[in-house]
Amino acid sequence: MALDGHVVNSVRFTHRARLIERPLRSGSAIVVRQDELFSSLRQRCRELGVVVHEETRTTSPIIDRGFLRGAACDDARELLAEYSVIADGANSTFGRALGTYRRRDLPYLVAVNGAWSSPSAHEPNISVALSLVRTDGRPLAGYGWVIPDGHGAVTAGVVVPSTVRDVESINLQQALVQMVTSVGHQWGLDADSPLELGRERRLPVGGSVGPILGPTFIVAGDAASTADPLSGIGVTGAVLSGMLAGDVVTHAVDEGASAPLQRYSTDLKAALGRRQRLGRIMLPVLGHPVGRYLLPCAAQSRIAADLLLRSTFDISLPNPLPQ
Ligand SMILES: Cc1cc2nc3c(=O)[nH]c(=O)nc-3n(C[C@H](O)[C@H](O)[C@H](O)COP(=O)(O)OP(=O)(O)OC[C@H]3O[C@@H](n4cnc5c(N)ncnc54)[C@H](O)[C@@H]3O)c2cc1C
């Protein structure tokens, strides 16, 4: 897929008054608006002969003798399929109807974002704020981001791991507005006047949801918790798992047998397993009261900033540092 976007060539880590800017490898990062990404994906699908039923919701799985054979839709149609890929997002009603569940002992992330108009939206860098605070001013584990869209607006958001003890009672929207207030001067933002403010959402990450395949179906994207556990970046894992799912389903159709589907788990583990294991170790550390002092180190030394870039963002920014 050829995608045009706003080119980003550096990341600025901030913690209170400290700021460290680190360059990215040329051409390694672009900002693409979600609607543009989706329409490009749909266009590419159509070019490949896929029929896209827009504005159609599936309401329930069609099960025949224990096998998923398609889906009933809200317009009374039934879409029948030999194999299905379930990619209905973090809530995954459809996936759960087929037996997927999130492991309660593994961490997830909570995130919220919003958009602000900005006179600096053409800037070629991203801000990562490492000094989130709670309503009462105490520091909060996690990080915030400001991403310019190149067309007069920025998206800002905050993400916090569930390993923070009282995560359910944190007002994340307030943490976001506070973060925008503290770094907004770099972007000319008025924290009190967002163009839009999203609601807080849970993001399953790091392979915490399973099972991710059945005899005639595959689960992909957030429905299979493919988002990166450290950064919360999810589009990469969603697209990657979709490609792997497409690959095994194609083989199953070609061979006239469902055996190739079994390869999906192994392929996904090979692609994401290292990050998933790292997340299971690091998220409890970051959520610990002492751990929240770790991330701010990245705003204090270049070595720490580069380490954070490699460890936290490596899925979306492969080999991000200048050679
Ligand atoms: C606040 C926030 C900010 C984020 N920011 C970023 C970011 O900047 N970069 C990044 O890479 N990731 C980001 N993520 C993560 C990213 O959004 C997800 O990981 C990614 O969108 C997962 O893609 P998906 O296709 O699996 O799920 P989704 O994007 O949720 O798509 C699922 C789709 O399925 C559809 N659907 C659901 N049920 C049905 C049904 N019954 N019938 C038909 N359709 C159905 C939904 O309408 C939706 O279109 C963010 C997450 C949050 C919560």
Quick: pLDDT tens for 232-269: 999 989 999 999 999 999 999 999 999 999 999 999 99
**pLDDT tier at 317, thresholds 50, 70, 90:** very low
Question: What is the percent of the chain where pLDDT is above 70?
Answer: 97
- For the chain, the average pLDDT equals 92
How far, in Å, are 164, 222, 230, 288 from residue 168 at the CA level? 9, 20, 19, 15
pLDDT at residue 320 is higher than 70: no
271-274 own/partner pairs: CB under 8 Å, 24+ apart: 271/240, 271/244, 272/207, 272/226, 272/237, 272/240, 272/315, 273/207
For ligand 1, the distance from its centroid to the CA atom of residue 227, given in whole angstroms, is 10
- The pLDDT value recorded for residue 182 is 92
What's the whole-number mean pLDDT along residues 182-208? 96
| Residue 112 Cβ < 6 Å to ligand 1 | yes
Probe residue for ligand 1, chosen from 162, 203, 209, 212 as the CB with the greatest number of ligand atoms within 8 Å: 203
For 208-219, b/e burial (b = at least 16 CB within 10 A) is bbeebbbebbbb
Looking at the chain, the number of H-run helices and the number of E-run strands are 6, 17
> Which residues, at least 6 apart from 277, have a Cβ–Cβ distance to it below 8 Å?
none
N- to C-terminal Cα distance for the chain? 26
pLDDT at residue 312 is higher than 80: no
- The pLDDT value recorded for residue 314 is 55
Nearest to 205 by CA among 240, 239, 229: 229
What's the whole-number mean pLDDT along residues 49-64? 95
Tell me how far apart the alpha carbons of residues 302 and 309 are, in angstroms, rounded to a whole number. 10
Instruction: For residue 292, report the phi and psi dihedrals to the nearest 5 degrees.
Output: -70, -10
**pLDDT tier at 315, thresholds 50, 70, 90:** very low
Tell me how far apart the alpha carbons of residues 227 and 207 are, in angstroms, rounded to a whole number. 8
pLDDT at residue 34 is higher than 80: yes
Domains of the chain as residue ranges with CATH? 6-34+105-204+284-313 (3.30.9), 56-102+206-281 (3.50.50.60)
CA atoms within 13 A on the CB side of 61: 23
Among 3-7, 57-61, 228-232, top mean pLDDT goes to: 57-61
* Residue pLDDT, tens place only, 151-179: 999 999 999 999 998 999 999 999 999 99
- The pLDDT value recorded for residue 59 is 95
- 141/1: higher pLDDT: 141
- The pLDDT value recorded for residue 204 is 98
For ligand 1, the distance from its centroid to the CA atom of residue 90, given in whole angstroms, is 7
Ligand 1 nearest atom to the CA of residue 147, by list position: 8
Instruction: For residue 189, report the phi and psi dihedrals to the nearest 5 degrees.
Output: -95, 145
**pLDDT tier at 310, thresholds 50, 70, 90:** confident
Q: Which residues lie across from 70 on neighbouring strands? A: 62, 80
